[in-house]
Chains A and B, each alone.
Chain A
Amino acid sequence: MIELAMVPVFLPLATFGVLAVLWPLRHSGMPAAWLSVASALASCVAAILAWTGAPVAGEPAQGMVFDWLVHDGKTIAEVGFRLDAISAPMLVVVTFVAACVQVYSLGYMAHEPRPALGRYFAWHSLFIVAMSGMVLAPNMLQFLACWELVGLCSYLLIGFYWDKPSAGRAAVKAVWVTRFADIGLMSGVVLLYVTTGGFAFEMTGDSGAATLVAALLFCGVMGKSAQVPLHVWLPDAMEGPTPVSALLHAATMVAAGVFLVVRAWPIFEAAPPVLTAMTWIGAVTALVAACTALVQHDIKKVLAYSTCSQLGYMVAALGTGSFFGGYFHLTTHAFFKALLFLAAGSVIHAVGTNDLREMGGLAKKTKLTAGLFILGALALAGVPPLSGFFSKDLVLEELLHAHAYGPLLICLAAAGLTAFYMTRVVCMAFLGPASARSLEAHESPPVMLLPMGALALTAAVAGFTTGRFGNDVALAPWHFAVTAPGVAALLLALGGIALAYMKYGQGKLAGLGVPALAAFIRSGPVDGLFVRGWQQGLRPLAGVVGWVDRYVVDGAVNLFGWAALVGSERMRVLQSGKLRDATYLLVMGALVVVAWGAIGGVR
């Protein structure tokens, strides 16, 4: 079974290698795409098969590792693959969504120039390699390496459109923010090594060290999984192609932070203060992001902030001391959010714009897309029997069980808002009178609709896999009861849907809302804070440091040069070429030497 688990790493790696080296193949366009899609599908099949034979909770992990860092005969770190109850499901999720996205891309990206297409699929393959390598990592060091590689793929794919300067800026911004967060992450890894002598996902020693390590690791999580305030890169990442947004910035990469916490659970378990902080940070993120999603005009930005909000749910759930809720919500969210993004891509493909205000009445023209989108929206809102209901219910139950009442209430509010803003999108895009653009819209080709359908299926039924999941990770019975928080969330969601439908679908309740606040939120206040911090804090500091570097450090070095130059200019006067001056110097020199000898000798 472990051999099957290695397929998602090696097969796409071979694909990437081939596409990178054989540029005629890469420039050929569709053949390159088919190669990549084939390897993605094969990886998905292999991952599913590996999952069926993977160990369940309590059984030892299957692994294949090789010594990597050896010091004094002792192995400090290994590289390889570890298949267990935690990594197997995640591998399935990653490869499945990746395969769907790649098939979808065959249609969505078909009009791209051929070399660009090859480039696109090559990087997609690399992403699968990196993500699989991270999921199957046996220790923190390989995990970190693959984490950075995933970040690289994100950069490459966000900045895919080389003719859009905003895309380049967004890619760099993503790297900046996650890099900044990774300072904490890497410090945490180093500290882990210092305190435990290795990079394994466990913690020995006192809880103080564990708390510090967990806190530092969580810094990295905040960046990668877009928790407030390090979430600012995620909306900008929408500059990339929509399939990329679906795969990386909804389903898999942003979930890597959540997965880190699950993977390194022994470390986090030993750090209760960090867990408490996580519930609050996650809850606040959920609410703030949901509010921001409420006022966006760009359909992809709504989904981006929605992703951010759901990531907040996952983090809050993890903070309760049980990782199952967060992990389960990760998987269901991957399915329905990827579906939503692909459907949004289908909409954009149909009308040629991202702006919701230019859409309307698309339900008539693009029935399938509309239906799939609405299904995804309902899953996200948490309507049973779709999977979103089960996972959100689980999250709220865990919060209640952990007596985290504050975060619980915040998350409930966010649930209502989630339903509201998704209904808003549905109304603005699909219902109501058709706009000028909508009249010319056309349905997407099957190659795009089929993956969406597959994802819709999983989004619908994944909620019922908790049984298998439960066997995997040994859950307590109270996880499966439908309790008060779940019901409350459902009621709030239905209320949100109703309100939004009344306002945006039927045009009543026009006075609901605060336009000034909406405009303020749209202006990106958190970004503004960062910019102000840079302008007023870092830049003057950098100026001072730069001044020191230029005038003190360089000055010291230049001093030698300057001294040599000036000294030689002064000395040059002596070389007048005149006989008498030379004679004078000769005499004085001889005088000095003789005097030295005479006086020294006499004494």
Chain B
Amino acid sequence: MTAWILFVLVAFGTLVSAVMVVRTADLVRAVLWLAASLVATAGLYALLDAGFLAAMQLLLYTGGIITLMLFAVMLVRRGPEAPTAGLIANPGRALTASLAVFGLVAFTVAEAGLPTEPGAGGSPSAKLLGQVLLGPLALPFEALSVLLLAAMVGAIALARRKDPEE
């Protein structure tokens, strides 16, 4: 029973924050609302017995990405946004697309026969997770570090100011 109540509360928070992200005019507020949504998601992970992941979520997402976003917002200071224009002159089309996506997923989920009870073994412990990461998933793990390096180098290469003679 409590699981349900908690779920509903946190889920509601996540959703509301997400909606506010896409609807506020002020960019900084949008970033903050995103932070709220990510924190709520960490809570959802906790409800799924994924403690390690919840911690990682907080560290990386809310810590790292939100910081990055705020820096970016500072670098490209702009006021409140102008109304939308272009192909999506009204949010109607975007709404249609979003609802279509949601409907599609819902339909697929409903048609698939999925287990309704948590599986045996539940959510893995951090220990098990570590064993998996450094065992069967060792190669992707290492590759990931290379990827991060590449991303860093790429970002620097893209964003640095060029010398006049280049």
The answer to whether A580 and B88 have CB atoms under 8 Å apart is yes
Q: Does B154 contact A (CB under 8 A)?
A: no
- Chain A residues near B108 (CB-CB < 8 A): 598, 602
**Chain B 35-58 per-residue mask, 1 if CB under 8 angstroms from chain A, else 0:** 000000000000000000000000
Chain B contact residues: helix, strand, loop or mixed = helix
- Chain B residues near A602 (CB-CB < 8 A): 108, 111-112
Q: Does B93 contact A (CB under 8 A)?
A: yes
Chain A contact residues: helix, strand, loop or mixed = helix
The answer to whether A591 and B87 have CB atoms under 8 Å apart is no
The answer to whether A584 and B104 have CB atoms under 8 Å apart is no
Chain B: how many interface residues by the 8 Å CB criterion? 13
Q: Does A474 contact B (CB under 8 A)?
A: no
Task: From known contacts A588-B97, A598-B104, infer whether A576 and B111 are also in contact, taking CB-CB under 8 Å.
Answer: no
Give Cα A245 to B97, complex, Å: 89
Q: Does A578 contact B (CB under 8 A)?
A: yes
- Chain B residues near A498 (CB-CB < 8 A): none
- Chain A residues near B111 (CB-CB < 8 A): 602
Partner of A594, one of B97, B104, B112: B104
The answer to whether A584 and B107 have CB atoms under 8 Å apart is no
- Chain B residues near A578 (CB-CB < 8 A): 86-87
Q: Which residue of B lies closest to A602 (CB)?
A: B111
Q: Which residue of A lies closest to B97 (CB)?
A: A587
Q: Which residue of B lies closest to A585 (CB)?
A: B87
- Chain B residues near A529 (CB-CB < 8 A): none
The answer to whether A580 and B97 have CB atoms under 8 Å apart is no
Q: Does B15 contact A (CB under 8 A)?
A: no
Give Cα A587 to B101, complex, Å: 9
- Chain B residues near A440 (CB-CB < 8 A): none
Task: From known contacts A576-B86, A578-B86, A598-B108, infer whether A584 and B101 are also in contact, taking CB-CB under 8 Å.
Answer: no
Give Cα A598 to B100, complex, Å: 13
Give Cα A71 to B101, complex, Å: 73
- Chain B residues near A580 (CB-CB < 8 A): 86-88
Output the least CB separation between B129 and chain A (Å).
30
Give Cα A587 to B104, complex, Å: 13
In the complex, chain B residues 95-125 whose Cβ is within 8 Å of any chain A Cβ: 97, 100-101, 104, 107-108, 111-112
Q: Does A595 contact B (CB under 8 A)?
A: yes
**Chain A 567-603 per-residue mask, 1 if CB under 8 angstroms from chain B, else 0:** 0000000001010110010011001001100110010
Output the least CB separation between B1 and chain A (Å).
34
Q: Which residue of B lies closest to A578 (CB)?
A: B86
Output the least CB separation between B109 and chain A (Å).
10
Q: Which residue of A lies closest to B103 (CB)?
A: A595
Which of the listed residues B86, B87, B94, B108 has the most CB atoms from chain A within 10 Å of its own CB? Answer: B87
Output the least CB separation between B100 and chain A (Å).
6
Output the least CB separation between A465 and chain B (Å).
100
Give Cα A187 to B93, complex, Å: 70
The answer to whether A595 and B87 have CB atoms under 8 Å apart is no
Give Cα A334 to B19, complex, Å: 110
Q: Which residue of A lies closest to B110 (CB)?
A: A602
Task: From known contacts A598-B104, A598-B107, A598-B108, infer whether A591 and B86 are also in contact, taking CB-CB under 8 Å.
Answer: no
Partner of B87, one of A581, A594, A598, A599: A581
Give Cα A286 to B101, complex, Å: 95
- Chain A residues near B101 (CB-CB < 8 A): 587, 591
The answer to whether A591 and B107 have CB atoms under 8 Å apart is no
- Chain B residues near A584 (CB-CB < 8 A): 87-88, 93-94, 97
Give Cα A588 to B101, complex, Å: 9
Give Cα A591 to B87, complex, Å: 18
- Chain B residues near A599 (CB-CB < 8 A): 107
Q: Which residue of B lies closest to A582 (CB)?
A: B87
In the complex, chain B residues 72-97 whose Cβ is within 8 Å of any chain A Cβ: 86-88, 93-94, 97
Give Cα A595 to B107, complex, Å: 10
Since A587-B101, A595-B104 are in contact, a sample of 19 more A-B pairs with Cβ atoms closer than 8 Å, ordered by chain A residue number, is A576-B86, A576-B87, A578-B86, A578-B87, A580-B87, A580-B88, A581-B86, A581-B88, A584-B94, A584-B97, A587-B97, A588-B97, A591-B97, A591-B100, A594-B104, A598-B104, A598-B107, A602-B111, A602-B112
19 A-B pairs with C-beta separation under 8 A: A576-B86, A576-B87, A578-B86, A578-B87, A580-B86, A580-B87, A581-B87, A584-B87, A584-B93, A584-B94, A587-B97, A587-B101, A588-B97, A591-B97, A591-B100, A598-B104, A598-B107, A602-B108, A602-B111
**Which positions in B face A, CB cutoff 8 Å?**
86-88, 93-94, 97, 100-101, 104, 107-108, 111-112
**Which positions in A face B, CB cutoff 8 Å?**
576, 578, 580-581, 584, 587-588, 591, 594-595, 598-599, 602
Closest 7 CB pairs of A and B: A581-B87, A602-B111, A598-B108, A587-B97, A578-B86, A595-B104, A591-B100
